[in-house]
Structure 1
């Protein structure tokens, strides 16, 4: 186990503390900085109206070089917080979810398995580690059913299906083969499938990302024409190779009664239900190829019947020039997301803080893991940010919480993916560059 405050010791911790106390809110173009401006306490408020015109900058190809994690390094955190290493060297740790008894279930996607970590008390030291299930197909989302303290099933979202395993409190290994609940999910392209249950347990939500960046392989018109399609399908539904994609779907817990909740969500790669309100939230990776700052990524409530723009529009009524004039019937009908995030940050997961071990003002806020994108000349993302809420509603402001994963313009050691709140109130974080899992706690 490694216990570290900050990235390079107490000196940087003190500097971070001083900066956090005096950091102003960055707005407009001032909020469009790169990784060099990132540090805990930096606050940004980006509004849909701050969106630049497409092609103001060239579309960059800036793939990430992954370096070994420097010895002794850890996420840089706000004053009073510390990071402890739970595990490292895993092939592909992605979504992490917490069982009611406190066990951590981790989707090790490229290894087609789900792992379990049982920590020793309020620490990062695993008392037990186990392979819960294997021979899956790029597992990602994990959910316990029914919601509450006594789930009977663990649901796992493969890239092509949703399966479930019978579960008893404290199980470290699946007792039987998986039962297929949802089959026939489109594969390829954006392959991450997240899942969540409504608070009453009556609805299983499943996110399905697009096949392509901006529907490049989709026919210009569906069979029978656009007017007929629009009359018979949900608002903004895509067709051809993108049919049933860029959507959030809903099912009964047994997989029956498939229905579309919302469309036009290019890649809703992380979903969660907001405590108190019961609202479904997702974080979305928007499209590439329009320049460094276009369009914004976002976090949003998923509203029943809503269309969020992809592939024809983005962030409201902004028409994608690659589909100019293709869907005038959808002009002005795209829902504006609740919180916009700097373009090409690549948000992958979201978790609301409902614990009681962080300072009180964290309660009700949300943490979002930003994986970072190849499509930006000046690298951004590669951090965890905190979305600020007031009375259960987002203010639009977000704040750097865990940074320090970028080593230079060319290399990073960490790419955050999964965030969740542990039973003891700590924040659990996964990153898939060096395959680490972290426990972030607050001591004051």
Structure 2
């Protein structure tokens, strides 16, 4: 059976009673996948639309992390900070984008003295088209716009890029899932692009879903395009498990099957693998709205590895490869959950951690950064976490696009 996972955090200017309220209202079902797990039946509960209103962070409020961790502001007063990329020299790149009134730029932050507060903030790239994923390979800077992969000449340490980029690959842009993340292969020869679906379950026709709900592989110059894995409704976060050659992704599943079905998930990505969308979910659970349409695809659907809870909008993903955090966190995965809209009780709106051992999940997801929900009854939240990245000093950065802040989580042991 599924079990509930509750937060275990210290308070930052929140009362214990308030913490308990926030944690219980934000908790969602989560468990390591195993053969005995049983999902609720679809439509067990009514499909509910409950959208959050972001009210921003009050002066004395901030997210809560476990005992021994300190939370601070790395940057604030931003405009839809979505994704974070850390260069080898410590430069921090943040893409700012949204489906409405998008800033369409990439910011560069530099913290030369490593005190957790950047001395400079500049516009590194501008006039983009809903930029999201970023990548540096040698003297090239790659950006995934919503509809194209661009590459720019790049000099490490440059404060900005003003030259025109070159479009090396095209793929479908919006609507619906517009974010496009990118990651390089371990040897740097390939680039993987996560492209989400344009619909919930293909209701606009599967001809509109060509090269969508998949991870696309291309060479560094954009050639050699192929579908690396498919049936992934919205694969956003991608990272390599430390010490392995295994790619992992965090996936947003479909809506309107009730409060608790289906779960979002974290999974290892198999080349050529099919993960069910839109015909099946969480392995060979056939979507009743598409019953009998593609039994062959239902049968070949791969069961994902880790349940992250229903409707959590699990977007951010990074493995922890530094040494600042305690041993428990080393090699594990941090996942930014943007938060639900299709659930009667909020799920997500937090950062969770999945422990790994030997490159494989070794425990259930744990709440790591919580307190984003301000008032469940009023559907108010302080912010919405998205991208996560690990700084060279071992601290964790969290992009809060609703709160317009980049949070820094550092371990002090106090």
Q: TM-score, normalised by structure 2?
A: 0.91
Alignment of 1:198-237 (within 5 A): 198-218=185-205
CA deviations over 1:77-124 (Å, ceiling 9, x no partner): 101101110222211100101011101100011211000111242323
Change (3 A) 1:47 1:276: closer
**2:409 aligns to what SS in structure 1?**
strand
Contact 1:57 1:291 in 2 (8 A): yes
1:434 is displaced (CA, Å) by 1.7
Contact 1:113 1:134 in 2 (8 A): yes
Which of structures 1 and 2 has the bigger CA Rg? Answer: 1
What is the RMSD of the two structures over their aligned residues, measured on CA atoms? 2.2
CA deviations over 1:219-274 (Å, ceiling 9, x no partner): xxxxxxxxxxxxxxxxxxxx411111101010000000100111100000211222
Aligned residues: 397
Residue 114 of structure 1, aligned match among 106, 114, 126 = 106
Residue 124 of structure 2, aligned match among 128, 132, 136 = 132
| In structure 2, C-alpha distance between the alignment counterparts of 1:43 and 1:325, rounded to whole Å | 29
1:175 is displaced (CA, Å) by 4.4
Change (3 A) 1:10 1:93: closer
Specify every segment of 5 or more residues in structure 1 that has no aligned partner in the other structure, as ranges. 20-32, 146-150, 219-238
Alignment of 1:189-200 (within 5 A): 189-200=176-187
Corresponding residue for residue 9 of structure 1 = 13
Q: TM-score, normalised by structure 1?
A: 0.85
Alignment of 1:127-206 (within 5 A): 127-145=119-137, 151-206=138-193
Corresponding residue for residue 5 of structure 2 = none
**1:169 aligns to what SS in structure 2?**
coil
Specify every segment of 5 or more residues in structure 2 that has no aligned partner in the other structure, as ranges. 1-8
| In structure 1, C-alpha distance between the alignment counterparts of 2:118 and 2:83, rounded to whole Å | 18
**1:348 aligns to what SS in structure 2?**
strand
| In structure 1, C-alpha distance between the alignment counterparts of 2:298 and 2:341, rounded to whole Å | 30
Alignment of 1:407-426 (within 5 A): 407-409=374-376, 410-426=379-395
1:36 is displaced (CA, Å) by 2.1
| In structure 2, C-alpha distance between the alignment counterparts of 1:217 and 1:120, rounded to whole Å | 50
Contact 2:29 2:310 in 1 (8 A): no
Contact 1:6 1:82 in 2 (8 A): no
Corresponding residue for residue 101 of structure 1 = 89
Contact 2:26 2:349 in 1 (8 A): no
| In structure 1, C-alpha distance between the alignment counterparts of 2:32 and 2:25, rounded to whole Å | 16
| In structure 2, C-alpha distance between the alignment counterparts of 1:6 and 1:72, rounded to whole Å | 15
Q: Which segment drifts farther, 253-262 or 174-183?
A: 174-183
Change (3 A) 1:7 1:435: farther
| In structure 1, C-alpha distance between the alignment counterparts of 2:10 and 2:40, rounded to whole Å | 35
1:45 to 2:49 alignment: no
1:128 is displaced (CA, Å) by 1.0
1:67 to 2:40 alignment: no
1:259 to 2:245 alignment: no
Contact 2:219 2:225 in 1 (8 A): yes
